[in-house]
Amino acid sequence: MDDITSSARAEAPRVPWRLRLFGRLLESWIRIKPDPVDPKTLLLPGVPVCYVTERYGLSDALILEQACREAGLPSALVPLENVTTRRKRSYFATSMRNSLFWNPARRRPPTEPLAELMQQLQLLPDTDVQLVPVSIFVGRAPNRQSGWFSVLFSENWVVVGRFRRLLGLILNGRDTHVQFSQPVSLRSVLAEEQGQPQERTVRKISRVLRAHFRRIRAAVIGPDLSHRRTIVDAVVNAEPVQEVIASTALKENIPREQARSRAHDYALEIAADYSHTVVRSLSFLLTSFWNKLYDGVTMSHFERVRAAAPGHEVIYVPCHRSHIDYLLISWLLYTNGIVPPHIAAGVNLNLPLVGPLLRRGGAFFLRRSFKANALYSAVFTEYVSQLFGRGVSMEYFIEGGRSRTGRLLQPKAGMLAMTLRAFLRESRRPVMFQPVYIGYEKLMEGNSYIGELSGQPKEKESLFGLLRSVKKLRQHYGRVAVNFGEPVFLDDLLQQEAPDWRASASEEKPEWLGRTVDALAERIQVSINRAADVNPINLLAVALLATPKHAMAEVDLIAQLDLYKALLAELPYGERITLTTLTPAQIIAYGEKMQWIRRIRHPLGDVLTSEGKQATLLSYFRNNVLHLFAASAWIACCFINNRRMARASLLRLSRLIYPFIQSELFLPWDEAGFIERIQATLDFFIRRGVIALDAEGRVLNRGAGQGDAAFQLRTLAHSLLQAFERYYITIAVLVKHGPHTISSAELENLCTLTAQRLTLLHELNAPEFFDKALFKGFIQQLRERKVIWTDDAGKLDFDAALNIVAKDAKVILSREIRHGILKLAPEPKPAPPPPAAADRAA
């Protein structure tokens, strides 16, 4: 038996000694990261293995052999088992062999090895061979220890020579990725192609393999978009753009070539100039940048994105809090093996030096408004369609700009509409919108946001301004959280909003397009909110800003933070919400460390406070998570001026008020769902002893005004109270002026001025209180619910329902607040006197 075993070992094919020597030398340097981790699980048991690579090369062959050996797979450098061919190796490449010296014998077509295998299988009907595609990438994503040249010589789309490949191995060999794909049974292919000529079958398999390798390379290092001129020419020559060029030339009486040149300039102004080298360089630099700027960047639910994304056109739609958002998401995706998207950026960021760098990182630029420029609009729309058709992932901010208040802004649906039209034109793959929540603990732009909300003009972006902001990099900005929300699949949405959408997809503007875009925008915003991260600063802001002087005894603050954490844990807003693990005491200590709050020592107990500008800035972080407390804060508001309230009355008022706070805070429930949430929150308060229930279970009671329970309710109510004050300002101004006297725009302006004046008189540190966009949203909701409407003269009219809303405000707002608002509301201008009799006669 031992002799037989020894004989079998002697007859087993061995790797030639020269390849073994080179392999040993390379193995001492190469570090392979296989994907999947255990490739052996992919193989068909008992079937000979033939590997397929993208290109020939000694280094690729040795890396493949090392990966096979480490994974316990059959060798790639020995002849194929049980199948006789002229080949001495059990692998081949889909590209032509590149010989150092011209040798016709080595210039055989790349399909020859596959044709030989097919011939052998036809001669051996009981034999099968499995083709295992293997993709090899040297230096895909250099880490923070990598040198600068490592970035330059990492993997890309360029076909490199031997010297460059050698440099790549030396510099990036320790970051080598080898991806094994699902095997293909040649016997199964033969069965499917039975009766077809062998040459046709071989060409088909080769074409499928080449497409597979291109798809894998695009997924790992990004699509080949290095030729900017190609996409610009494609945009200008597209039929929709050519039509607008012709109409522009006719309308402006200019030569067609001049209009075409203008379109070409627009396309150059817009188009990204994607560079894999620049992307890797930025990734290399940003790793050090984040480590200096932040204590860490945490990412949640990313694996769900990775699982759902394959086979989809992915559109990333984050909330927009800071200029850092652009870089942060692209860096996170790239370092986690996902190609960074092309990003729609405002043309105001196309600054000298900065603009070209962003453009090479995948940014394409758009003007703030281009409705009046039909040619620019056509070029930009076609550019988006070209990206879409080429399978390029995109990222844009549907809020249109950075939020100055910390809330989600009402979406601007322009990019969504363009994406939807592009899908109708180029619906090759299903589309997945991926909402992303970004949560900071401190913002670089905080001071400028306060100034803009207070009426100061927005500071225009400039290179000088950018250089001045460098000093901010010395500050400490805490941690950043990036949470990926529940994706929105466009096919599913279309099926809900327009079941017969395919029948009208070819129309220029189907009747269902507008409502579908609005529904898509709403769902994205809701999904972003359902993936919020609740950090220590958010909780401190919600608690401290509810007190008149933004100060609270330490024992009370701990109790309040404990209530908030328990509420969010026991009644989760959504499954993707993340909540700080710090205890209330640790949250306070962290707030002191971040210099958001200050401790005042006192013999009867320390007081924690936030003062001046810090308190104003904290309102931003309170607003980040305001929606999480909407139901509980509404209940608390009902008990500010009432010690007892019937459960039925509270639920009636909840139904009345919900549409308005739903629109403002992008809440996820319908009316029935909100009522269920209210009921569950009431049960939570009863369990905690914050609210009591009478013996019959009909009437709710809060404790005495001086008790801890009443204090906790008052503090919780404050986060939503300012919304109701804004609502009452709007109603008071409208009723005071009467019907048919002011327009929507005039009402918005008067409400903003009233709120500003109220802020000055009452020292409210909440700049968003007089944000015109919030008043505009409430007025729009009143119009949608037919409470107010516009008459033929463009003025607002209303009915008795508005008086009911004003009456219900007494439940929430105290008499002092209501009278103060009524007093501050501007008086209507006196009507002009009627013309004199003589004038009428004239």
**Separation between Cα atoms, residue 126 and residue 436, nearest integer Å:** 53
Helix ranges (DSSP H) in 666-743: 671-688, 708-737
Answer whether residue 28 is part of any domain.
yes
Note whether 254 and 166 are same-domain residues: no
Residue 174 clears pLDDT 50, i.e. is over it: yes
The terminus-to-terminus CA distance of the chain in angstroms comes to: 131
User: Model confidence at 147, in pLDDT bands (50, 70, 90)?
Assistant: very low
Note whether 192 and 233 are same-domain residues: no
Query: Do residues 662 and 410 touch, judged by C-beta distance below 8 A?
Result: no
Query: What is the H or E stretch that residue 646 is in?
Result: strand 644-646
- Provide the β-strand partners of residue 343: 363, 395
Note whether 130 and 243 are same-domain residues: no
- Write out pLDDT tens, residues 758-780: 777 765 556 667 778 888 888 88
Answer whether residue 602 is part of any domain.
no
Q: Which stretch of 132-146, 203-217, 635-649, 730-744 has the lowest confidence by average pLDDT?
A: 132-146
**Separation between Cα atoms, residue 204 and residue 212, nearest integer Å:** 12
**Separation between Cα atoms, residue 137 and residue 382, nearest integer Å:** 33
Note whether 250 and 201 are same-domain residues: no
Name which of 69, 83, 82, 90 is nearest 120 in CA terms: 83
Answer whether residue 801 is part of any domain.
yes
Query: Do residues 677 and 631 touch, judged by C-beta distance below 8 A?
Result: yes
Note whether 234 and 180 are same-domain residues: no
Query: What is the H or E stretch that residue 491 is in?
Result: helix 490-497
* All residues at 6 or more sequence positions from 443 whose CB lies less than 8 Å from its CB, including other chains: 321, 322, 449, 477, 617, 620
**Separation between Cα atoms, residue 329 and residue 306, nearest integer Å:** 14
Q: What 8-state DSSP symbol labels residue 349?
A: G
- Write out pLDDT tens, residues 533-590: 999 999 999 999 998 889 999 999 999 999 999 999 999 999 999 999 999 999 999 9
What single-letter amino acid sits at 371?
K
Both tokens assigned to 91: 């692998």
Name the pairing type of β-strands 342-346 and 394-395: parallel
Backbone phi, then psi, for 633, in 5-degree steps? -70, -35
Query: Do residues 755 and 726 touch, judged by C-beta distance below 8 A?
Result: yes
Note whether 169 and 252 are same-domain residues: no
Q: Under DSSP, is residue 180 helix (H, G, I), strand (E, B) or coil?
A: strand
Measured CA angle at 103 (ends 100, 108), to 5 deg: 105
Both tokens assigned to 496: 């809900």
Residue 325 clears pLDDT 80, i.e. is over it: yes
Determine if residue 786 is left, alpha or beta; phi over 0 gives left, psi from -120 to 50 gives alpha, anything else beta: left
Q: State the greatest distance between any 2 C-alpha atoms of the chain, in Å, as a whole number.
A: 133
Note whether 398 and 482 are same-domain residues: yes
**Separation between Cα atoms, residue 397 and residue 741, nearest integer Å:** 37
Calculate the alpha carbon distances from 699 to 649, 650, 673 in Å: 9, 10, 22
CATH number of the domain enclosing 435: 3.40.1130
User: Model confidence at 452, in pLDDT bands (50, 70, 90)?
Assistant: low
Note whether 233 and 205 are same-domain residues: no
| Helices 58-71 and 17-27, packing angle to 10 deg | 80
Q: Give the per-residue pLDDT at 836.
A: 54
User: Model confidence at 5, in pLDDT bands (50, 70, 90)?
Assistant: very low
Answer whether residue 110 is part of any domain.
yes
Domain boundary among 169, 191, 221: 221
CATH number of the domain enclosing 764: 1.10.10
Query: 800 lies in which domain range?
Result: 720-824
- The count of structural domains within the chain is 3
Name which of 97, 104, 175 is nearest 143 in CA terms: 175
User: Model confidence at 376, in pLDDT bands (50, 70, 90)?
Assistant: very high
What single-letter amino acid sits at 646?
A
**Separation between Cα atoms, residue 546 and residue 722, nearest integer Å:** 10
**Separation between Cα atoms, residue 70 and residue 34, nearest integer Å:** 9
Domain boundary among 490, 512, 529: 529
Cis peptide upstream of residue 430 (ω within 30 degrees of 0): no
Answer whether residue 753 is part of any domain.
yes
**Separation between Cα atoms, residue 630 and residue 674, nearest integer Å:** 10
